[in-house]
Amino acid sequence: MTILSVEGLDLRHGQLQAVRDVSFRLVEGETLALFGANGAGKTTLLRAIAGAHPIRAGRVLLDGRDVSAMPAHARSAMGIALVPEGRRLFQGMSVEDNLRVALSAGRPGYWTLDTVLEAFPNLRARRKSAARTLSGGEQQAAAIGRALMTNPRVLLLDEVSLGLSPAAVDRVYESLKGLVKGGATIVLVEQDLARTMAVSDRIICMLEGRVALEGRARDLSREQISSAYFGLRRPHAQGAVAP
């Protein structure tokens, strides 16, 4: 069952076109990774799906309903949750209060304070601590947990390992593997190719705002993805988009 459809999105930053005619579909329980160099348009694409960046052309559909004109809070209430780059926690608030903020989305479901703390056990002992006192990995876990408490249909994760120590990245990805096994539907932006390939069902490689390569993770080689990443050629894998 298709949950999310992105159809011909064009996105701009002023006069700069950041995303050019990008389309894809996401089915329930699937993990899709967006891979590409800085400036390829990945973060802008996630923000547009979540309603935090205006759409110049194209549309976004959730469960077949066009949400392109809806503000971010309305999309969140319908089931789209974004974990932004940089986490953006309320630094003076406790971990628990940061998590409870998400309850305003009003979506019932599996994810509650208790189930989030079960999924991210490193947060349980810090639940009363101010967010600013957490390590980078703990802050990332809190940001993901906050998004989960909206009980999203689609979880958008932007650069989850950015700025984290190797040990913290390992802990975050162990938690992500649990979410994937539990049937979560995820769009993941990441720079670590090995980790991207390990947790994803499909990969889209973006170059200068376009889809340079798309295919199932198991069908793509590191060489194909690296070539698309650097724009050395346009390898034709299953589902690849030609220039």
Give the domain ranges of the chain. Answer: 2-230
Asked if residue 22 has pLDDT above 50, the reply is yes
What's the confidence (pLDDT) of residue 242? 41
What's the confidence (pLDDT) of residue 162? 75
pLDDT band at 7 (very low <50, low <70, confident <90, very high): very high
What's the confidence (pLDDT) of residue 94? 96
Asked if residue 231 has pLDDT above 70, the reply is yes
The dihedral over CA atoms of 180, 166, 146, 87, expressed in degrees to the nearest 10, equals: -130
Count of C-beta atoms within a 10 Å radius of residue 80? 27
What's the confidence (pLDDT) of residue 233? 59
At 95, phi and psi to the nearest 5?
A: -55, -50
Integer Cα distance of 160 and 116 in angstroms: 17
Integer Cα distance of 195 and 102 in angstroms: 28
Integer Cα distance of 3 and 153 in angstroms: 8
pTM, entire model? 0.88
Four-residue CA torsion sign, 101, 159, 234, 240: negative
Q: Percent of the chain, pLDDT > 70?
A: 95
What's the confidence (pLDDT) of residue 241? 43
Output the six-digit token pair for 218: 């198991």
- Classify domain 2-230 at the CATH topology level: Rossmann fold (3.40.50)
Q: pLDDT tens for residues 154-202?
A: 999 998 777 777 877 787 788 777 777 778 899 999 888 888 888 899 9
